[in-house]
Amino acid sequence: MDVFDNVKKQVNKAGTIMGLDQEEKSLVLNPKRMLNVNFPVRMDSGKIRRFNGFRIQFNDARGPTKGGIRFHPDVDMGEVKSLAFWMTIKNAVADIPYGGAKGGVEVNPKDLSSAELERLSREYIKAIHEFIGPTKDIPAPDVYTNPQIMAWMTDEFEKIKGGHLPGVITGKPIELGGSRGRGIATAQGGAYVLRKYAEENDLDPNGICVAIQGFGNAGSFMAKILYEWGYNILAVSDSKGGIIDREGLDIPDLIKHKQKTGKVHGFANSKEITNEGLLESETDILVPAALENQITEKNAGNIKADLIVELANGPTTPEADEILNKKDITVIPDVLANAGGVTVSYFEWVQNNYGYYWTEEEVLKKLEAVMVSAYKNVKKTASENDTYLRNGAFILAIDRVLEAERLRGNI
């Protein structure tokens, strides 16, 4: 499946409600710049291996483009283009002054040594350095990349440019200009939106069951936050499979187990469950926090959750959206629910530009304000157009992007 087909369907849905003409749709759907680079990396064996890399800067009408870099064996141009588009929408939903971008390298980082991973990271930056910068395009971590990789990339960029430019990349270690709170930001932002939704719908966390697909950074932090708030985390999964315990998983102990064994399987008192079984489990809230296209027209009819909070990018297909909507299952869409990561990346960039850094308490307070405001605006837009939240988010964001394009004289 070409993930960008889903993007087109999402835009067409919102565009029909908005009454967009063909010129406006074309502007929204076509990226400004697409880079496909092929670069050499010397392996520990002494041999040279070449890698394919991508960087797509989708739209910069509202500011420099912003988006993560993922290292994954299945990365391709279609996926990166979709992710870059969603970043454009996400930044507009959060109302932060960025356009959208995304990047990736076709590689399984688990197959590389630490030294090879460092050389790969540096060579990728060498290949794209002319097209990024604090006022052009600002990368960040994504799937299978982390603060250490961002540190290598920042260092390589600064060596090329001959000066300190920490604002070129966010998601860096604190010691190199990273922001406090960045590591938990994606999950924390989603949790703030969930908390506001729960307040509005009189949901008491006690007794509410949550299933989380994906136990990486976003999924594990979401589990920890919701566990501490009193939710019952009954099931989680990772790339090796999942586990379930109807009595509720002890998340702090599970995190230790995962760190020790590298998987959630084998955790005390739990039963094994497949990723598919987790998605269709008897739960109140479902949190997809893995990869794209997890909830499709094939399994959407079997979803039993009353609420879905999307921490992953693009986990639900447009066809599945229609099925979920007919079943009265509320979906807090990815472009809202997981915007906490890019919001704190924006805070990091602001702090880098100022040379003045905030406490974690200040960061999280500012994050909550942004997320709650975005949720209210999306909900208001959806209500005004008699549609569900994803369409509300897209209408809100597309309108903001097109207004910026109009003011620039581009339409």
Report the catalytic residues. 102
Mutual orientation of helices 185-200 and 340-354 as an angle, nearest 10°? 130
Which tokens go with 131?
């097209």
Beta strands in 161-299 (DSSP E): 209-213, 232-238, 241-244, 271-273, 285-288
Alpha-carbon distance 99 to 225, whole Å? 29
Residues 6+ positions from 132 with CB-CB distance below 8 Å: 55, 125, 138, 139, 157, 168
Alpha-carbon distance 288 to 279, whole Å? 8
Which tokens go with 211?
């299933």
Residue 410, H or E segment: none
Q: Starting at the edge strand that comes first in sequence, how are the strands of the sheet with 307-309 ordered?
A: 271-273, 241-244, 232-238, 209-213, 285-288, 307-309, 330-332
